[in-house]
Amino acid sequence: MLKKAPNLKKIVKSKTKSNINVRLTSEAMLELSTMLFLKNLAKAAKAKSFEEKSATIKPRHVKAVTKKMLKRARG
């Protein structure tokens, strides 16, 4: 069973040293951006697994496309 994703507001506050207030709309935008990135990462990993003629997406497929996806996400 999958665990529930942690609250983004808690993650942002724990990763920053200063006290940053995150509004509800900003939190929603962060969550949507994260979900969009993960969706694109999954699509790229699926394409990589298809290239290797594998029926399942394996960790090596995700690792192979992660660097390229992060570069694309930065712009």
What is the structure's pLDDT at 49?
Answer: 92
Tens digit of each residue's pLDDT (9 = 90 or more) over 21-54: 777 777 788 888 888 989 999 999 999 999 999 9
All structural domains of the chain with their residue ranges: 42-75
Q: How far is CA 24 from CA 6, 27, 29, 46, in A?
A: 15, 5, 9, 33
Asked whether residue 74 carries a pLDDT value surpassing 70, the answer given is yes
SS3 32: helix
